[in-house]
């Protein structure tokens, strides 16, 4: 069966472990350029290595992905309900004050993933500004978007992957898009140098973790160069946005409770961005 752009495929050489969308095809070379459906991964594969899943297989995969998304959101909502008003004094009636979680600016190189993340932010009641910005354009646009949105939390993500080059030292040139994320982080830090006043998550699948952290990120992927889920940034953001401003985030807990865990996401001790206001204005 002929493979064409837009098809959903799996790689036979990887035991069909992940599903991808075909983004482009080099007919002369017999190579397809692929984008992960749930994982923030770009890959190339020979057309001969690709197979389209059957309708039943694809339906099962999509159902599993949807269950995971719902599980992530339900888990986050249950935690917030158990913790009440995020550690505020019991004497304060919750109805009397206004909740002010951190504001998120999310730049994503993938429009479909952006839509998934934006819906998750809305379900989590997080104020957000979300923009589809190709990875290579993020350094150019990040400052203008920060000026417009005034975020407490910045997410710079999209797609990435390791480019295997024998004998080459590890560095930005060994990755498809890490250098763009790194430069965007650097520019954001010129705008706001404090890692408590601007919390940055940066990276995608297999990104150069060390370079992103050195550039000034609070959280980044991927320490073990593994794949990360499209919702991993949301998991980190939710914890930062709803941890009170006077507390630091439990770094072990927030990383362990992400979808891919510490092998996929790393970070540093960071102050929360949740505030309350009094009195609550009457309509």
One-letter-per-residue 3-state SS of 139-164: HHHHHHHHHHHCCCEEEEECCECECC
Pairwise pLDDT comparison (165 vs 37), residue with the higher score? 37
Pairwise pLDDT comparison (105 vs 84), residue with the higher score? 105
pTM of the model: 0.82
Q: Are residues 133 and 262 in the same domain?
A: yes
Contact 204, 110 (CB under 8 A): no
Q: Are residues 66 and 103 in the same domain?
A: no
Radius of gyration of the chain from Cα atoms? 20
Measure CA 19 to chain center.
19
170 is written with which tokens? Answer: 């590890």
Q: Are residues 68 and 105 in the same domain?
A: no
Query: Per-residue pLDDT for 60 more than 70?
Result: yes
Per-residue pLDDT tens over the stretch 257-275: 888 889 999 999 999 999 9
Assign 204 to helix, strand or coil: coil
Q: What's the mean per-residue pLDDT of the chain?
A: 87
257 is written with which tokens? Answer: 């409770």
- pLDDT-derived band at 138 (thresholds 50, 70, 90) equals very high
Half-sphere exposure of 212 (CA within 13 A, CB side): 31
Q: Are residues 59 and 144 in the same domain?
A: no
Range of the domain at 163: 98-277
């Amino acid at each position: 069966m002929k493979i064409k752009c837009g098809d959903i495929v799996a790689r036979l050489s990887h035991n069909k472990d992940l599903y991808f969308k075909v983004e482009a095809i080099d007919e002369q070379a017999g190579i397809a350029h692929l984008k992960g459906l749930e994982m923030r991964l770009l890959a190339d594969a020979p057309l001969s290595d690709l197979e389209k899943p059957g309708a039943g297989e694809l339906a099962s995969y999509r159902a599993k992905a949807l269950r995971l998304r719902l599980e992530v959101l339900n888990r986050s909502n249950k935690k917030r309900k158990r913790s009440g008003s995020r550690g505020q004094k019991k004497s304060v009636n919750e109805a009397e004050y206004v909740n002010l979680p951190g504001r998120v600016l999310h730049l994503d190189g993938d429009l479909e993933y952006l839509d998934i993340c934006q819906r998750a932010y809305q379900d989590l009641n997080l104020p957000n500004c979300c923009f589809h910005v190709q990875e290579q354009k993020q350094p150019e646009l990040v400052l203008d978007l920060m000026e417009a949105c005034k975020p407490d939390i910045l997410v710079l993500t999209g797609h990435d992957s390791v480019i295997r080059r024998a004998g080459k030292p590890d560095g930005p040139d060994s990755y498809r898009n890490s250098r763009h994320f790194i430069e965007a982080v650097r520019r954001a830090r010129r705008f706001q140098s404090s890692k408590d006043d601007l919390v940055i998550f940066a990276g995608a699948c297999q990104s150069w973790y060390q370079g992103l952290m050195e550039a000034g990120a609070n959280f980044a992927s991927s320490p073990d160069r593994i794949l990360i889920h499209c919702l991993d940034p949301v998991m980190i953001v939710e914890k930062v946005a709803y941890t009170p401003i006077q507390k630091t985030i439990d770094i072990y807990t927030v990383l362990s409770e992400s979808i891919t865990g510490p092998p996929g996401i790393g970070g540093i001790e960071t102050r929360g961005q949740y505030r309350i206001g009094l009195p609550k204005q009457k309509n």
